[in-house]
Amino acid sequence: MKRFLFALLHSTCVLKLVKWINRRKVTILSYHSVVDSNEPTRPDPYKQHLPLDLFRKHLDHLKKDYTVISLRDFLSARRKHRDLPNYSVVLTFEDGFQDFYTVAAGQLAQRQLDATVFVITDKVDGRYPPNGESFLSWPQVEELARSGVEVGSHTCSHRKLPELSLDEVKRELADSRTAIMAHIKQVEVPLSYPHGRTSRSIIRLGQSLGYSCAITTELGPNDCDADVFVLSRTTIASDDDLPTFAARVSGLTWWIGRLRRLFGVENPKGEPAHAPAYGALATEPYD
């Protein structure tokens, strides 16, 4: 039903209208894993492992209809009150899966597209036993950084920060940022809250530790005056065909989600859930 609806809208002017209305907003797209197969070999209950063929179609759509900018360029424009091109999109990748290095990065480089990868530094250090999923190593992270990929923090261990003491949160944030800076000498480090969960005290702590921004799982594009420590994003699922992807990046699914919440309608099976969490923030099941 979802695919039929988006395929129908993709062939009408509705999608173009929504895209035009949101043209001055910046959409942060969030991927997780890209697998070099049309049939992922592992179970994918959270729809994280996108087949390569679909990923190529997504990137080609962005090259044709949008301007992909880096996260650091978005932040620079915010600080300097500089206008960005209409239809700007930022590409991010969560968790630091090894297939970002082996599969996704080459596709991005071929199209000269910027991206940010958020790594869980304890996993980069190899402190977790293998569980069927492989993560980036520091030599791979360093090589990616040299090629122009921005590296961000997804904390040390990917624990839900609001469930920890502030001392534990400080260690998660500070040690992860320190490890990244030690390996790649990056000027700024962005943060992606694990599971999108945060609180006002965690936000203040992230600011005090020197992070450049932080991303939640609140669905939607970002206005020019968005709080850079409560940035929204749009998560891409592994079964998002081209019409569904076009609907997500245009902001149409954000509009539909707002209408559902306004009228108290539950999300259909297979759609991201956005339940209220801490303050005005929300979470998704993908992280």
CATH code of residue 183: 3.20.20.370
Torsion of CA 113, 146, 287, 28, to 10 degrees: -30
* 130 falls within a domain: yes
Token pair of 275, please?
Answer: 């339940």
Instruction: Give this prediction's pTM.
Output: 0.89
DSSP string, 115-148: -EEEE-HHHHTT-S---S--B--HHHHHHHHHTT
pLDDT of residue 255: 80
Of 207, 249, 287, the closest CA to residue 57 belongs to 249
* 217 falls within a domain: yes
Model pLDDT for residues 155-204, shown as the tens digit of each residue: 999 999 999 999 999 999 999 999 999 999 888 999 999 999 999 999 99
Q: How far, in Å, CA of 239 to CA of 47, rounded?
A: 7
Q: Which helix (H) or strand (E) holds 258?
A: helix 252-263
* 36 falls within a domain: yes
Range of the domain at 274: 27-283
- Residue written as tokens 């943060």? 191
Other Cβ atoms less than 10 A from the Cβ of 213: the count is 24
* 244 falls within a domain: yes
Contacts of 154 (CB under 8 A, 6+ apart): 94, 95, 96, 118, 119, 120, 176, 191, 192, 194
* 160 falls within a domain: yes
Of 198, 194, 203, the closest CA to residue 229 belongs to 203
Residue 278, pLDDT > 60, answer: no
Residue 5, pLDDT > 90, answer: no
Q: How many domains does the chain have?
A: 1
Average pLDDT over every residue of 259-278: 52
Beta-bridged to residue 130, according to DSSP, are none
Q: Which helix (H) or strand (E) holds 275?
A: strand 275-276
pLDDT, averaged across the chain: 88
pLDDT of residue 284: 34
